[in-house]
Structure 1
């Protein structure tokens, strides 16, 4: 795809650009700002006065004095903060310093996050497996033919060379595998976005093929994944759910439709089965207004799989064996808790309510500030607290609310203390950018309990960090914002003939504050993945206006 030649040209352009075009000393959310929201930039190097100027006319519209310096060890920098929150005029602007250093152009307006939401959500469509996909972004055309039409074989279920239908769903990450556990948290977060922001999301057209007649586009895309998930239970009617459907090893960097190696249903795991239950219970609720029969099918599948969990209370771990693809090994306590919460929320059945409240009590009503696919208990806790069904134990509700607010306050404090507004503080690891986005769910949930504007401001800081207000002064999302990643660890991007990567994908981020590498081979910091992507979509969904 992208050659060293293009990289050299890109670097040459940067080195020859006049200083006033863009300075690495001004780190800012390059997507833009809502008019009435906080607006901050981080400045490195000596800083004092700063100016906001209109992009079209270069007219001075605001000036201020940066606060600082603030020293931060993990980035080994002194940083000043330029705050122009009181400036609310819509339009396109840039920041300028007295020495002529100048930021990229940014926009202030009510709909600044809508294009980013559209591209990031439509990225799921471009991840579709089992059908041809195509799209155009910034004049570049991206496409692959229908792929993995032989999914999948049952050799590891005791049926050598026997094939049953496992087509569909989304490719999981930079590879072409499909994993039940990671699908669970992904769809779960997207359903929560729908629950909380439906009035904002329902009118948005995503320009999708007609694969779910009568569904709003947002739910239409989710149904593509739930259709595949409904194929993952064992065909024997036991309710056990295969952990994944993949090759035994990762495909090389080839196009999706060129990947012809056999792919297999694996043995079940209790974590995958519980995650399946939770998602199917959600699907039964949210799909019912559009397809009652399909919603009933989802609920029946959820109840059946919950029964096998109750009959097998021990953790059933998936053993990798021959498989070298993603493990997604996870304890199942959190998944079972989430499953019970969603089944109760859908049905009102006292058994599920009891199971959830018993599990939440055993966890001491803990709310996680730093979480991902391996611990989805937050999804269960949030579902329970925010439910309007009624019947919850008021003491449990109150304890959970207190813990939700305490964790949200901690996230706000961390974001305020970080020179780049990063609410995860000084923790870095595989996929940490996804966690930064996922913390927005903690904050939005807290805001629903107690409408403190600091929660939404920190949520916007998290988004701003991902789109340029960071150490690198770059967007972490392909095709969006200023100087976005060019070389994600992604087989679609790495195998085609298009110069730019497939658009809208959040890359994982460095394992230290200065450790991110925009290199295709660096899967540990530059891969993409559906669970990080869903967190980004959720974060943007709360600030989309129509």
Structure 2
């Protein structure tokens, strides 16, 4: 399936990387089809997902205009392995991808990430920037008009649910991105009225269902109209959060910035998102301890962990080779995973039969298996791979 709430945080992460370090991944630095178009490659990658999210917005003149469809996927779980949907007839009741209803969470993900893309693309591709800004503003207005369209299991098979029945964080994030991009008072008023504006730690950890911290991070690093004392306060709160992660890493056996309760589905993305906070603290203070924390996080992902394995395909003498993925299908006529794919990682409550049988009685940090059948420990996802950049 394809999911807007995964797309939002993934797009934001790549574009935020560009806003922090615009010289990284310049045009032609990656082996992608868009190379040579005059646009930094990292923004080309972000645009790929942004185009999908824009297409998920309900058109003008239709019921719920401006809202974003939550996701699209098959009506039944597709087999493993299987070819990409573009390679076979995917327009049939038994083998097709279907558009699911809109949700407030998806709509606010679109509003936030489209506003962010609009400001970074304005000097590169003005037409696309204008398209993004219009979509962001339409999405914001639609979310205000429909603040409680929470997604449930519709139909409940063939794709992940990604339900989110608390969108206070998404509203705050979207308001922050729109304010930075437009400077309009409507969004500033919303930011100031939100209790999240003064409570950075309340918005952690960062994940697809908890995105408020993204708004504060953008306010802390992208020039905007906030008073200097507000920006300084946000930065100080980020540094204090980083101190907490350093404290955690110091008592963890493998020095990851994640405690015992962090071993959930996609735990490796938690390591990376916490490392992002450490990296920001280093940017703000220049203190070596925060950079060391980032390095320790990468050490954990690349093999200094309880299973003695790199969770990143193609990196390390013993690296992940058999991800749960439809067309990296672990068969001779299917491609192997390319270098750089990140496994979800140890899961204290594995839910797939493969992991339950093989690792469920092991200590929590060892509940991982490099097997194509282990979707709860060895799946790959864009919102886990984006912070690996």
Query: TM-score normalized by structure 1?
Result: 0.63
Which residue does the alignment assign to 1:519? 371
Superposed, 1:267-278 pairs within 5 Å as 267-278=101-112
**Alignment: residue pair count:** 359
Superposed, 1:44-83 pairs within 5 Å as none
Which residue does the alignment assign to 1:234? 58
From 505, 508, 515, the counterpart of 2:344: 508
Q: Which runs of 5+ in 2 are unaligned?
A: 348-363
Report the CA distance shift for 1:367/1:319 in structure 2 as closer, same or farther (over 3 A).
Answer: closer
Report the CA distance shift for 1:414/1:291 in structure 2 as closer, same or farther (over 3 A).
Answer: same
C-alpha separation in 1, matches of 2:228 and 2:104: 27
Q: Which has the higher contact order (CA 8 A, sep 6+)?
A: 1
Q: 1:192 and 2:20 equivalent? A: no
C-alpha separation in 2, matches of 1:326 and 1:358: 33
Greater share of strand: 1
Superposed, 1:356-505 pairs within 5 Å as 356-361=191-196, 364-392=199-227, 394=229, 396-426=230-260, 427-494=262-329, 496-497=331-332, 498=334, 500-505=336-341
Does the residue aligned with 2:72 lie in a helix, a strand or coil? strand
Superposed, 1:176-187 pairs within 5 Å as 177-187=1-11
Report the CA distance shift for 1:422/1:230 in structure 2 as closer, same or farther (over 3 A).
Answer: same
C-alpha separation in 1, matches of 2:200 and 2:253: 32
Which residue does the alignment assign to 1:68? none
Deviation readout 1:231-273 (Å, 9 max, x if unpaired): 1011235211100111122211111124732211111100000
From 50, 68, 71, the counterpart of 1:244: 71
Q: 1:255 and 2:83 equivalent? A: yes
Q: 1:291 and 2:125 equivalent? A: yes
Rg comparison, structure with higher value: 1
Q: 1:309 and 2:143 equivalent? A: yes
Q: Is the 8 A contact 1:415 1:422 kept in 2?
A: yes
Which residue does the alignment assign to 1:332? 167
Shift of 1:212: 8.7
Query: TM-score normalized by structure 2?
Result: 0.87
C-alpha separation in 1, matches of 2:297 and 2:191: 31
Shift of 1:429: 1.0
Shift of 1:204: 5.6
**RMSD over aligned Cα, in angstroms?**
2.0
Report the CA distance shift for 1:272/1:363 in structure 2 as closer, same or farther (over 3 A).
Answer: farther
Which residue does the alignment assign to 1:112? none
Q: 1:355 and 2:207 equivalent? A: no
Report the CA distance shift for 1:297/1:500 in structure 2 as closer, same or farther (over 3 A).
Answer: closer
Superposed, 1:129-148 pairs within 5 Å as none
Q: Is the 8 A contact 1:367 1:407 kept in 2?
A: no
Does the residue aligned with 2:377 lie in a helix, a strand or coil? helix
Does the residue aligned with 2:194 lie in a helix, a strand or coil? helix
C-alpha separation in 2, matches of 1:259 and 1:399: 54
Q: 1:220 and 2:44 equivalent? A: yes
Which residue does the alignment assign to 2:357? none
Which residue does the alignment assign to 1:38? none
